[in-house]
Amino acid sequence: MTRTAPRRLGLLGGITWHSSLEFERMLNEGVNAALGGSSAADLLVRSYNFQQIADAQAAGDWDGLGSTFAADARQLQAAGAEAILICANTMHKVAPAVADAIDVPLIHMLDATADAIVAAGLDTVALLGTGYTMRDPFYRDHMAARGITTIVPDEPVLAEVHDLIYDSLARGVVPDGAREWIRGVYDNLRARGAQGVISGCTEIPMVLTAADVDEPYFDSMGLHVEAALEFALRD
Judge if 129 and 180 occupy the same domain: yes
Would you say residue 129 lies in a domain?
A: yes
Contact 207, 179 (CB under 8 A): yes
Is 3's pLDDT higher than 90? no
Q: Is residue 3 part of a domain?
A: no
pLDDT in tens, 131-183: 999 999 999 999 999 999 999 999 999 999 999 999 999 999 999 999 999 99
* Contact status, residue 165 vs residue 199, Cβ threshold 8 Å: no
1 in any annotated domain: no
Residue 142 domain-assigned (yes or no): yes
Same domain, 62 and 118: no
Question: 174 lies in a domain?
Answer: yes
Q: How many domains does the chain have?
A: 2
* Calpha distance 31→33 (Å, rounded): 5
* Per-residue confidence (pLDDT) for residue 2, from 0 to 100: 59
Q: Give the model's pLDDT for residue 130.
A: 97
Q: The domain containing residue 82 runs over which residues?
A: 8-109+222-233
Q: Are 89 and 139 in contact (CB under 8 A)?
A: yes
pLDDT in tens, 13-65: 988 898 899 999 999 999 999 999 999 999 999 999 999 999 999 999 999 99
Mean pLDDT of the chain: 96
Q: Which pLDDT score is estimated for 235? A: 83
Q: In this structure, are 211 and 117 located in the same domain?
A: yes
Q: Name which of 184, 179, 180, 191 is nearest 124 in CA terms.
A: 191
Q: What is the 3-state secondary structure (H, E, C) of 151-219?
A: ECCCCCHHHHHHHHHHHCHHHCCCCCCHHHHHHHHHHHHHHCCCCCEEECCCCHHHCCCHHHCCCCEEE
Instruction: Tell me the pairing of strands 217-219 and 124-128.
Output: unpaired
Identify the band that residue 111 occupies on the pLDDT scale cut at 50, 70 and 90: very high
What is the CA angle 224-89-168, rounded to 5? 115
**Average pLDDT estimate for 106-129:** 98
Average pLDDT of span 90-118: 98
pLDDT at 134: 98
**Residue 35's CATH number:** 3.40.50.1860
Whether the bond into 156 is cis, omega within 30 of 0: yes
Do residue 51 and residue 132 come from a single domain?
Answer: no
Cα–Cα separations (whole angstroms), residue 164 to 92, 174, 205: 20, 9, 13
Edge-first strand order for the sheet with 197-199 is 149-151, 124-128, 197-199, 217-219
Looking at residue 119, its pLDDT comes to 98
